[in-house]
Structure 1
Amino acid sequence: MKIVRWILGRIILLLNAIFTPKGVKRSPIAQTEIDSRTAKLSLYQFNACPFCVKVRRQMKRLSVNIECRDAQNDPQHKADLLAGGGRVKVPCLRIESKGETQWLYESSDIVAYLNKEFATK
């Protein structure tokens, strides 16, 4: 089963590389403002997870720079995800706002949050 998952993961990554979405073009000032808003966001993810790829593709479409943390291969990120979010499940978006931290699971919820906060109107 591990071999099948590894092969499927590599296929997902290959297709993602071939069909990378284009990002939104913003003025440098607008992009700087977006970057300052995303500075307090972190995405805990596994590289070949299809749901994580879905979120990263949306990040690319919206041209948002969110730190991606590898919770599969980095034991510190895995421990942080377990301690903060309560479980090791990816993707998980860590949102720091006004001194509070929110842990948002589920790829569809994360994509909806990103669209609400960063989509051009």
Structure 2
Amino acid sequence: MRILIRYFFRTLRLILTPIVLISEKLSTPKAIVRSPSDQGRADQESSKLALYQFNACPFCIKVRKEIARLGLSVETRDAQHDQQHRTELEKGGGRIKVPCLLISHEDGRQEWLYESDAIKSWLQDRFEPAT
């Protein structure tokens, strides 16, 4: 019985994953418009960030959409299929849980931020243009 359940969910994932990824592409918002100097600063700051994620994870999609909306260039690291990134996440952050934002500070210190809402809030506080 367990084998049947396992294969059922694997098949379900195989069917739903392309649908979820296509939906993400179609619903990703356009980036906010900044002045060239402000965009340069945002690009420089976001180069210090890396997002550990799984492609079809809905919480990771939520964070990737926010990154796209803010017009950031954040490196994404696949912790599901890339063993090196998975190991880095476990050693650095202490657990294999996605999404996880790695923040590299100027002093060499690294901060590992988990939870999609916390990541979104941190990105908005840091990169949302003043109104």
C-alpha distance in 2 between matches for 1:12 and 1:59: 18
2:123 maps to 1:102:
no
Q: How does 1:1-121 map to 2 (within 5 A)?
A: 1-97=9-105, 98-121=107-130
CA contact (8 A) 1:24 1:63 kept: yes
SS of the aligned residue for 1:104 comes to strand
User: Which segments of 5 or more consecutive residues in structure 2 lack a partner in the other structure?
Assistant: 1-8
C-alpha distance in 1 between matches for 2:115 and 2:14: 22
Aligned length: 121
> Post-superposition shift, 1:7?
2.2
> Post-superposition shift, 1:8?
2.3
AA aligned opposite 1:96: S
Moved over 6 A (4+): none
**Structure possessing the higher radius of gyration over alpha carbons:** 2
State the TM-score, normalized to the length of structure 2: 0.88
CA RMSD in angstroms comes to 1.0
> What percentage of aligned pairs have identical amino acids?
48
CA contact (8 A) 1:43 1:93 kept: yes
AA aligned opposite 1:41: L
C-alpha distance in 1 between matches for 2:94 and 2:14: 26
> Post-superposition shift, 1:27?
1.8
SS of the aligned residue for 1:8 comes to helix
User: Which segments of 5 or more consecutive residues in structure 1 lack a partner in the other structure?
Assistant: none
